Amino acid sequence: MLLKTVLLPLTAAGFGAAAGLWDLTSASLDGTLVMLAIAGFLLSVAAPRQWGVWVLVIGVGVLLAHVVTPARPGMLFDLTVVSGLVAAAVSLLPAAVGAVAALAVLWVLRPNRPVRVYAAPLAQPAKTTLVQRGAQAAQRAADHMGRLNGGRLNGGRFNGGALPGQPTLDVGD
């Protein structure tokens, strides 16, 4: 509980602040983008359900780094805030790419992970795997398509026959 409520948000803001400071001191943008993508990846592996929160907190960390640092010579304060807002908005993209990459890796590594499904508000949650949920969704979609076509799939009454006027592979044809 403490990990997800305190430590991970502080880590995300720290990653963002470090990337923001790197952005302010470095002449190239490559290192900043890599830092943001790695931060999004690591935090999304740690808590995949909150990946969007981590991306936003990383962006806030970049903004704070730009706002807190003193203005460079010849810059107005307003331009520092504006450049911080622009940098924070731009930082969301590489952080989101890293987070989505982490979700893809997690999905490939554990596709059969149990997922809680609530059938009724007071019922006990049933555990199904991601593959089972996909198969159930495909079956529901096929059932809905059958109803939309007026029950004309599979010979008119879902009995396995051919559509009227269509050739079949039966031996009798």
- Of 79, 98, 97, 76, the closest CA to residue 87 belongs to 79
Q: What is the pLDDT of residue 137?
A: 80
Dist CA 24 CA 31 (whole Å) = 12
Q: What is the pLDDT of residue 7?
A: 87
Q: Which two tokens stand for residue 168?
A: 């079949």
Number of Cα atoms under 13 Å in the Cβ half of residue 142:
9
Buried b (16+ CB within 10 A) or exposed e, 153-167: beeeeeeeeeeeeee
pLDDT mean for each 10 residues of the chain (173 residues):
79 90 82 91 89 91 85 63 83 92 87 55 60 78 72 48 56 52
